[in-house]
Amino acid sequence: MCFSPQADLVGGVVVGAIGIDSLRHVDHRRQLPLAALPLLFATHQLVEAVLWQNLRTGSMAAASRPALWTYLVIAFSLPLVIPLVMAVSEPDRARRRPMVVLVVLGGAVTALLLSALSRPFEVAAVGHHISYRVHYPFSTAVTGLYVVATCGAVLLSSSRILRLFGVINLVAVTGLAFLSADGLISLWCAWAAVTTVVINVHLRRSGEESRQSSATPVMG
């Protein structure tokens, strides 16, 4: 992922297929936003494939701006979207309460990041990733809160599989921030897209457990 337009294209198609399959395994309407999350990441990667191609051909003109804005709006909305999705899909009320706090926190982070798009920013292909340089105040603190909102809500899940998804992404985003601050948006979003396979596994197992529970005869 993120190494070329071809990699983003293939990744987007594969993650999109995972998203479609995830929707097939929804057994309660509260799971719908969670099942649709891979489709959001798939769209994200497909949009970046367009940006890669334009950067390589040197044609980042006005026609490319919608793709660039779409990519950044999705990336900057994740601190709000992910905790909101987790809160809606979480069946345990006690676990939902701290998730709601993260929804508010993530909403504030998203609002700050989106407002930064009103100022000039730069985008360039750097090695094997795309660098998005968007300037906003207190960048280190905001990046930390971005991670808290996106990964924290998943770590609060009652599902052990989804908590694994949160741990994997927390480790990944920490490592990527250390390796490449400029490439963090591109690299971590690609990694998060790949790990949405965990969401698919969660929904499959949840569906199987639900069917087994309904098939279990009542004794007495």
Domain parsing of the chain, residue ranges: 5-210
Could you tell me the pTM of the whole model?
Answer: 0.83
Asked whether residue 110 carries a pLDDT value surpassing 80, the answer given is yes
Q: Which of 18-22, 43-47, 67-71, 121-125 has the lowest mean pLDDT?
A: 121-125
The residue among 169 and 112 whose pLDDT is bigger is: 112
Distance CA 18, CA 61 (A): 33
Distance from C-alpha of 62 to C-alpha of 65, rounded to nearest angstrom? 5
Confidence of residue 207 (pLDDT cuts 50, 70, 90): low
- 176 vs 155: which has the higher pLDDT: 155
pLDDT of residue 211: 55
Q: Which of 48, 38, 43, 41 is nearest to 6 (CA)?
A: 48
Cα–Cα distance measured from residue 79 to residue 153, given in angstroms and rounded to the nearest whole number: 10
| String of DSSP letters for 15-40 | HHHHHHHHHHT--SGGGHHHHHHHHH
The predicted structure's pLDDT at residue 1: 46
